[in-house]
Amino acid sequence: MRLLIKNGRVIDPGSKQDEVMDLLIEDGKIVKKKLSIEDNLKELVTIDATGCFVMPGFIDLHVHLREPGFEQKETIASGASAAARGGFTTICAMPNTKPVIDNADKVRFVLNKAAQVAPVNVCQVGAITVSQLGEKLADIEGMAKAGAIAISEDGKSVMNVKLYEEAMKLAKKCEIPVMAHCEDKNLVGAGVLNKGEKATQLQVEGISNLVEDVIIARDIMIAKETNAKLHLCHCSTKDSVTLVEEAKKKGIQVTAEVCPHHFALTEDDIINGDTNYKMNPPLRTKEDVKALKLGLKNDIMDVIATDHAPHHESEKAKSLKEAPFGIVGLETAVGLTITELVDKGYLTPMQMAEKLSYNPAKIIGLDKGTLEIGKVADVVIINPDMEYTVDVKDFASMGKNTPFAGMKLKGQVMATIVNGKVVYQYTK
């Protein structure tokens, strides 16, 4: 198949190229960026990208696909379809399914299933401990050999420091990163929202910044000791930015992600009793949000990831105390990034491509995240000026749990291309 993307603003963080040009794709690879009169343009599928960003396909390091075990929330197929609609060409599935992805066979199950049903690339993250119980290391080397691109205990922290140190040593040996959910379970208690005015007002227990910051500091020190690659998931506090900045100055191999909900909302935005605002880490203060935005702007924080966490409607219909943590994010990430960061001057379009594609690819060792000639044609086309209202009825995800329903955003994904094949195209 030959595909021509015409007249788009090609933004390639791999070559630092940012200019209006055509992009020619053949047999799943990018073959030309600038066409000449001698080029044979017959038998082409053509997409007119006038006025649009053309970027390397986005890579989400932090997604919950729920399969196996929680297919009432999401499946590999539905989550991957949501990814395609959101401009993501590669997604990394977290291991907290049922059963937990803690050995090579389970890794292979997800990868094989994804190869059959997913329109995008699906990578699997393996658990750090067996059944995520924090007692015995999972088969980290076996999972890495089976294709796991990282290990994580996402949803909780490994509180046993000695065990965690051994895990980091094995991750270093396997040349894969450790993705850390930073939460001290001894401090979090029965927390529901950020420890602040909103939690007091709603009479629920709060989750302090210390819950996150103390584990970030601990994990950075273990990474320093083991020389492992540490990736900090869903950072939400102002001090997380400071800690990452200081670690990088010391040459420690640490990277960090920020989720769109953590840079787009504060605890002040929470509507009384609406469990779609309940997530972990919780929505923080304006001061925290400002620090996260500046951390992204100043390239301290490396990645934008969604922490896409679908839940069934009946679960989120429970009380604020009883409902599960988590919101969906694959289909709103682009709009939130453009609306809250690009349009407001925090990120350039090039930085957006870096944080959603180029940097994630480097962290997990994928030869993606660029539009250089000869590379696999994973591409996203975005109209940055198109406005739309978030409507959960349009979501491909089975999860509709989002606080952004009804919000007006800018930045419509017009097409998502995986391996040279159009897997999503906007049709309204």
311 is in an annotated binding site: yes
CB 269 within 8 A of CB 315: no
Q: Is 231 annotated as a binding residue?
A: no
- Mean pLDDT to the nearest integer, 201-221: 97
- Can you give the pLDDT at residue 1? 77
Say if residue 291 is in the same domain as residue 316: yes
- Look over the chain and give the mean of its residue pLDDT values, rounded to a whole number: 96
201 shares its domain with 318? yes
Model confidence pLDDT, tens digit, residues 126-136: 999 999 999 99
Work out the number of other CB atoms within 10 angstroms of the CB of residue 56. 29
pLDDT tens readout for residues 380-394: 999 999 999 999 999
pLDDT at 40: 67
φ, ψ (nearest 5 deg) of residue 4: -115, 120
Spatial separation of the C-alpha atoms in residues 223 and 380, rounded to whole Å: 34
Answer whether residue 416 is part of any domain.
Answer: yes
pLDDT tens digits, residue range 352-383? 999 999 999 999 999 999 999 999 999 999 99
What radius of gyration do the chain's Cα atoms show? 21
pLDDT tens digit string along 253-284?
999 999 999 999 999 999 988 999 999 999 99
Whose structure tokens read 């995800």?
397
Q: What is the C-alpha separation between 93 and 65, in angstroms, rounded?
A: 6
Percent pLDDT > 90 in the chain is 95
Secondary structure letter of residue 308 according to DSSP: B
pLDDT of residue 272: 86
The CATH code of the domain that includes 34 is 2.30.40.10
325 labeled binding residue: yes
**pLDDT at residue 38, rounded to an integer:** 61
For residue 400, pLDDT over 90 is answered with yes
Taking residues 170-194, what's their average pLDDT?
Answer: 95
**Mean pLDDT computed over 311-316:** 97
pLDDT at 37 over 60: no
- The verdict on 216 and 359 lying in the same domain is yes
Sequential DSSP letters for 250-304: TT--EEEEE-HHHHH--GGG--TT-GGG--SSPP--HHHHHHHHHHHHTTSS-EE
Q: Please report, for residues 154, 160, 178, the alpha-carbon distance to residue 136 in angstroms, rounded to integers and kept in the order given.
A: 16, 10, 16
At residue 170, does pLDDT exceed 60? Answer: yes
Residues 6+ apart with CB under 8 A from 273: 202, 319, 320
Where b means 16+ CB within 10 Å and e means fewer, 145-162 reads: ebebbbbbbbbbbbeeee
Report which of 60, 77, 86 is spatially closest to residue 119, judged by C-alpha positions: 77
- Catalytic positions: 307
Confidence of residue 158 (pLDDT cuts 50, 70, 90): very high
Rounded distance, CA 26 to CA 12, Å? 18
Q: Is residue 370 part of a domain?
A: no
Q: How many domains does the chain have?
A: 2
Q: Is the peptide bond between 282 and the residue preceding it cis, with omega within 30 degrees of 0?
A: no
Whether residue 96 is annotated as binding a ligand: the answer is yes
Q: Please tell me the distance from the alpha carbon of residue 178 to that of residue 293, in angstroms, as a whole number.
A: 24
Closest CA to 60 of 289, 295, 332, 326: 332
To the question of whether residue 243 is assigned a binding role by annotation, the answer is: no
Residue 79 buriedness (CB in 10 A; 0-12 / 13-18 / 19+):
buried
Same domain, 300 and 174: yes
Whether 65 has a binding-site annotation, put simply, is yes
* 326 labeled binding residue: yes
Q: Same domain for 160 and 281?
A: yes
| Confidence at residue 273, expressed as pLDDT on a 0 to 100 scale | 85
Q: 324 and 192: one domain?
A: yes
pLDDT at 403 over 90: yes
pLDDT of residue 255: 98
| pLDDT for the residue numbered 284 | 98
Residue 42 burial (C-beta neighbours within 10 Å; 0-12, 13-18, 19+): exposed
- pTM for the model stands at 0.97
- Tell me if 90 is assigned to some domain: yes
How confident is the model at residue 33, as a pLDDT?
78
Residues in the chain: 428
Do 102 and 40 share a structural domain?
no
Nearest partner of 150 among 257, 5, 243, 265, judged by Cα: 257
Give a yes or no: residue 369 inside a domain: no
* One domain, residues 416 and 325: no
**279 and 295 together in one domain:** yes
d(CA 398, CA 168): 35
Contact at 8 Å (CB) between 267 and 178?
no
* Residue from 302, 64, 119, 285 nearest 195 by CA: 285
Same domain assignment for residues 353 and 210: yes
AA identity, residue 384: P
C-alpha distance from residue 382 to each of 45, 54, 118, 338, 412 (Å): 18, 7, 22, 10, 6
Q: In what order do the strands lie in the sheet with 178-180?
A: 58-63, 88-93, 121-127, 150-152, 178-180, 230-232, 254-258, 303-304
Number of neighbouring beta carbons within 10 Å of residue 276: 21
- 209 known ligand binder: no
Task: Give a yes or no: residue 37 inside a domain.
Answer: yes
Known binding residue 312? Answer is: no
Predicted pLDDT at 43:
74
For the cut 70, the answer to whether the pLDDT of residue 39 exceeds it is no
Phi, psi of 167 (to 5 degrees): -60, -45
Judged against a pLDDT cut of 70, whether residue 36 lies above it is answered with no
User: Which residue range is the domain that position 19 belongs to?
Assistant: 2-53+376-397+405-425
Same-domain check for residues 74 and 154: yes
CATH number at residue 286: 3.20.20.140
